Amino acid sequence: MGLGWVAKPNNRQCRRWTTSRIWGATFLCCMCLIFFTPRIPRSPKHHQFVDMRNLLDSPGVPNTLNVMTNFPFLVVGVLGLVLALEGGVFNISSQGEVWTWALFYAGIAGVAFGSAYYHLKPDDHRVLWDTLPMMVAFSSLLSSLVVERLGQRIGLCCMFALNLAAFLCVVYERIYNDIRFCMMFQLTLPLAIPVIAVLYRSKYTHSRYWFISTGKP
């Protein structure tokens, strides 16, 4: 009676197994954070800035520098949005990448308006307009990486799911004055980018820029 042989898993199967374990561990950590930590309200000191001067003539602009320094976000966001929709400049190869990058730059442009609106009169009511565009940009950046590495269908599903999650996190914070979901959301995405960049091969060159985008050398 001969002995059968067991086929060794290929690299793709090993990668999928590793990815599943990573996402499973991440999900468990997030659930532990939610269920085993107390509510974290937004501190009133969040709205107190080091520089709150009004540098313009009456009536002026409150927190002048905090408001005016959002202008570069508008320039970069609008320019990037136009180039992403045009497609040829970035040498984008799929429509899914066009949508994710366009939404990323739209989020960057939205930061200019949302942050300026918040800094004109900082309070708990306006801070969500400062937070939401940033979370949209983070979500779209990760989604563009997923489209590039895992495919258009998965990436677009990721884009819709993450942006919906971002909206719900902000709404939850506003209703319950609890920033845990927003903290978890903003901490998880920068960690997910290098993990995906390492596990999945890119169809483009210069992949190291993905690590630079998360502040990792």
For CA atoms 177, 183, 185, 186, the dihedral sign is positive
What gap in Å lies between CA 199 and CA 12, rounded to an integer?
Answer: 10
Amino acid of residue 26: T
Amino acid of residue 136: V
Chain position carrying tokens 């209703």: 175
CB 77 within 8 A of CB 106: yes
119 has binding-site annotation: yes
Q: What angle do CA 81, 113, 75 make, to 5 degrees?
A: 40
What gap in Å lies between CA 201 and CA 190, rounded to an integer?
Answer: 18
Binding-site members are 119
Residue stretches of the annotated binding site for Zn(2+): 119
